[in-house]
């Protein structure tokens, strides 16, 4: 039998190795929590940048009107038609769009530009962490791959017409989406420095 002192030393060394392995394991749950905290304060919106309302669109240009018309049918905007005169070349029919009472309650104004804002329809929520690099367990920065869904989608954003008019809305709410985030270790735990979903919102068309 081994001497008691040597036996105790061997057991102690083994426990230290086990504890060290446990402490160095990458906590993917912490990654998930950090990315969800990041997205919790960042809503998913129809346009990638705020737009100005009231807005005017040429009725003959479907690219200009289809999004506004879908929002009008959803009760978020009001629409009035008028004839706009053009110097030397006659006139054209246009639609004027503005926020309805229902739309005003869902409109997210841009504090830096009066009159500008966006319609937002939820925030991303990570469902699974799929992998990370580098593979080392003691790194202070990781690139994390994940799947997410958009939670809290309101009724007005769920219609087929809205999803047809805004392909980015349809993509974002179609189920699981992939994404990548960069996380760094801080005194407060893991923090996200950058995150990119697979289907960011598209800018409004001006064609």
Per-residue confidence (pLDDT) for residue 136, from 0 to 100: 84
Asked, for residue 132, whether it belongs to a domain, the answer is: yes
pLDDT tens, residue by residue, 152-194: 999 999 999 999 999 999 999 988 899 999 999 999 899 999 9
pLDDT-based confidence at residue 99 (cuts at 50, 70, 90): very high
Tell me 89's DSSP state. Answer: S
Range of the domain at 89: 27-197
Give the integer Cα–Cα distance in Å for 154 and 20: 47
Whole-number average pLDDT of the chain: 85
Asked, for residue 2, whether it belongs to a domain, the answer is: no
Its pTM stands at: 0.74
3-state secondary structure of 65: helix
Total domains in the fold of the chain: 1
Per-residue confidence (pLDDT) for residue 201, from 0 to 100: 44
Report whether pLDDT(4) > 60.
no
pLDDT tens, residue by residue, 19-31: 333 334 789 999 9
Asked, for residue 94, whether it belongs to a domain, the answer is: yes
Asked, for residue 87, whether it belongs to a domain, the answer is: yes
Asked, for residue 89, whether it belongs to a domain, the answer is: yes
Asked, for residue 64, whether it belongs to a domain, the answer is: yes
How many helices and strands (H and E) does the chain possess?
6, 10
Asked, for residue 203, whether it belongs to a domain, the answer is: no
Pairing mode of beta strands 107-109, 189-197: unpaired
Asked, for residue 44, whether it belongs to a domain, the answer is: yes
Give the integer Cα–Cα distance in Å for 186 and 72: 46
3-state secondary structure of 69: helix
Report whether pLDDT(206) > 70.
no
pLDDT winner (highest mean) among 23-37, 74-88, 103-117: 103-117
Give the integer Cα–Cα distance in Å for 145 and 139: 16
Per-residue confidence (pLDDT) for residue 198, from 0 to 100: 62
Of 66-70, 101-105, 161-165, 171-175, which range is least confident?
Answer: 171-175
């Amino acid at each position: 039998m081994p001497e008691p002192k040597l036996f105790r030393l061997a057991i102690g060394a083994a426990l230290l190795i086990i504890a060290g392995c446990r402490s160095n394991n990458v906590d993917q749950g912490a990654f998930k929590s950090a990315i969800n905290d990041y997205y919790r304060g960042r809503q998913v919106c129809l346009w990638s940048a705020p737009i100005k309302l009231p807005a005017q669109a040429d009725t003959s240009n479907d690219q200009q009107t289809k999004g506004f018309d879908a929002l009008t049918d959803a009760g978020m905007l009001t629409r009035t038609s008028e004839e706009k005169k053009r110097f030397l070349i006659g006139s054209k029919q246009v639609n004027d769009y503005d926020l309805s009472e229902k739309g005003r309650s869902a409109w997210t104004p841009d504090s830096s530009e009066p009159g500008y804002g966006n319609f937002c329809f939820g925030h991303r929520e990570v469902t699974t962490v799929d992998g990370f690099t580098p593979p080392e367990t003691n790194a202070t920065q990781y690139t994390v791959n994940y799947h997410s869904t958009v939670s809290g989608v309101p009724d007005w954003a769920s219609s087929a017409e809205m999803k047809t008019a805004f392909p980015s809305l349809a993509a974002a709410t179609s189920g699981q989406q992939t994404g990548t985030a960069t996380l760094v270790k801080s005194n407060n735990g893991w923090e996200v420095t950058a995150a990119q979903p697979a289907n960011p919102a598209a800018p409004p068309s001006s064609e």
